[in-house]
Amino acid sequence: MAGVRIIERELNIVGLTHRYGPERVIEDIDLSIAAGEAVALVGPSGSGKTTLLGIAAGLITPWEGRVHSTFARPAMMFQEPRLLPWQRTLDNIALGLKALGHPRRERRNAAAALAQRLGLDIADLDKFPAALSGGMQSRVALARALAIAPDLLLLDEPFAALDVGLKHELHALLAAERQRSGVAVLMITHDVMEALRLADRIVVLAGKPGRIVATTEVGRDLDARDDGWLLARTAEFLRTPNLRAAFALPPLPTAERVAS
Amino acid sequence: MTSSIVSPHRRLVEAAAATGRYLWGGMGSLAGLALFLALWEATAQQLGSLILPTPREAFATLAQMLTHGSAWSDLAISARRALAGYALAVLAGSALGLAAGASITASLLSRPIVTLLIGTPPIAWLILALLWFGAGDGTPVFTVFIACFPIVFIGAMQGTRTLDDRLRAVAQAFRLPLGMRLRDVYLPHVVSYLFPGWITALGTAWKVVVMAELLSTSDGVGAALAVSRSQLDTAASMAWIVALVSALLAVEYLLLEPIKRRVEAWREFASSSES
């Protein structure tokens, strides 16, 4: 497989700085994502995460620095589902396939098959997005992103507004998709547990302007990340001084730090 | 996988249900209309038919005008003028409005001009048109155009002004080609602003054309109204008014409103499923 591939897929960001008017939002960002790798950008609100993702997606032209991507088919999920309100669920899922020029019948079949895999009801496919619950809309947005068989998935906190159960379910779907297709992921989140659940590497962004203050390898197989491990690892990660500083958490009492 | 996810049978049932709902919803309007006719009848009986003919007299006169008189040709002449001015306003107003909405500068510049156009009474335009175009078709057509143009223009400008940046980002992220961006992302939004403007403008066109004809031409419904006024023929006047209003209601509720419902089916769901 690797021998057949001529271009190595990767996303490279070097020396990136961006500003809105006089206000710098991110500064000196170096970040690279290899094929099949999942990177989570974690940071407090206002640390420029969304800007960084927008630049990676090519939606924002950076002020300074170099962004180079050889991924052929990036797909994106936004903070809100952002479905087209005037198109039925099935056509919303098939949107990217239509852009790629797949014929109507073929793309609708593919979309329906994917929708079923993601746990959407057949009956829901004929509804307009406004008739779906928030959780279902997120599912449709995920299906729309996965429909084009992306090699890079850009996620802008898409699960932030969902309840724990739905979040858990969509995390599992995403993890399964990673293992099935080997899609690379760049996700931003302020949920440390979500990052530990899905990513290979966690990059902590903090400050104003946002800079990378820490990088952690998760180093555990995706299927081995059960709830027990996840809770323990999250607790451990939250004790990291860099992370506490990034989120402006009060320092831990000394006794507890010793105990850990 | 089968492609019968959306069975034609189900679509048919949905369409029938929607039509049923539409007709049932019309019951309220019909009741209102009946009430109006009752009030008209009662008032007419009080005042006498020289001042206000009863509905039955008005309808009888209308039927008589339609079968023996020149009512159809007068209606056709007025319709032709109204539609000509309306079509010009829809074309120019939509195109210029969409363009103006695309640029902040253009919309800022055009806003006071449009306010001015809307604020100027059609009768003032009519006087100018009489001076410019004389007593031909030009006067009513121009007056209709200038009365409808700002209504269409504002709708179109709001349409492009309010395009959702978030959906634009979706279009960009999924690399939609230009044609698809226009058709699938921008057009449905813009149409939902254009359509109400078009409907309002059509009503205005119909009203303004009669007013323009009343003062400027020798044929058409307006001119016929002028004649019936000069002959103190209240029954004929009422008959013409009934004809005008019926024509407008028929076009609006039998043609435009069903189209609007179809084009904006997604809105119905948006309002009914707030959960």
The CATH number linked to B87 is 1.10.3720.10
Tell me if A121 is assigned to some domain.
yes
Distance, in Å, from the CA atom of A235 to the CA atom of A249, rounded to the nearest integer, reads 13
Q: How far is CA A168 from the centre of its chain?
A: 15
Tell me if A23 is assigned to some domain.
no
Tell me if B139 is assigned to some domain.
yes
Instruction: Pick the closest to residue A185 from A49, A60, A20, A56 (CA basis).
Output: A56
Instruction: Pick the closest to residue A198 from A211, A210, A184 (CA basis).
Output: A184
Tell me if B18 is assigned to some domain.
no
Say how many domains are in chain A. Answer: 1
Tell me if B232 is assigned to some domain.
yes
What local confidence, expressed as pLDDT, does residue A4 receive? 55
pLDDT beneath 50: ranges in chain B: 1-4, 271-275
Tell me if B36 is assigned to some domain.
no
Tell me if A2 is assigned to some domain.
no
Query: Is A133 near chain B, with CB under 8 Å?
Result: yes
- Are the beta carbons of B269 and A82 separated by less than 8 Å? no
Distance, in Å, from the CA atom of B98 to the CA atom of B148, rounded to the nearest integer, reads 16
Residue of A nearest to B263 (CA): A86
CB-count exposure of residue B233 (10 Å: 0-12, 13-18, 19+): middle
Range of A97's domain?
83-149
What local confidence, expressed as pLDDT, does residue B11 receive? 73
What local confidence, expressed as pLDDT, does residue A256 receive? 54
Range of B196's domain?
74-262
**Partner residues linked to A18 by β-bridges:** A26
Distance, in Å, from the CA atom of A30 to the CA atom of A39, rounded to the nearest integer, reads 13
Supply φ then ψ for residue B259, to 5 degrees.
-65, -45
Query: Is A85 near chain B, with CB under 8 Å?
Result: yes
Residue of A nearest to B190 (CA): A86
Tell me if B34 is assigned to some domain.
no
3-class DSSP assignment, residue A227: helix
Neighbours of B113 (CB within 10 A): 12
Tell me if A115 is assigned to some domain.
yes
Span A37-46, pLDDT tens digits: 999 999 888 8
Tell me if A186 is assigned to some domain.
no
Span A80-90, pLDDT tens digits: 999 999 999 99
Residue whose token pair is 């939606």? A59
Distance, in Å, from the CA atom of A37 to the CA atom of A49, rounded to the nearest integer, reads 18
Residue B35 tokens, joined: 């009430």
Tell me if A98 is assigned to some domain.
yes
- Are the beta carbons of A112 and B185 separated by less than 8 Å? no
Residues 6 or more apart whose Cβ sits within 8 Å of residue A26: A16, A17, A18, A47, A48, A51, A52, A205, A209, A210, A211
Angle at A44 between CA A40 and CA A47, to 5 degrees: 85
Say how many domains are in chain B. Answer: 1
What local confidence, expressed as pLDDT, does residue A257 receive? 53
Residue A24 in this model has a pLDDT that exceeds 80: yes
What local confidence, expressed as pLDDT, does residue B163 receive? 87
Tell me if A126 is assigned to some domain.
yes
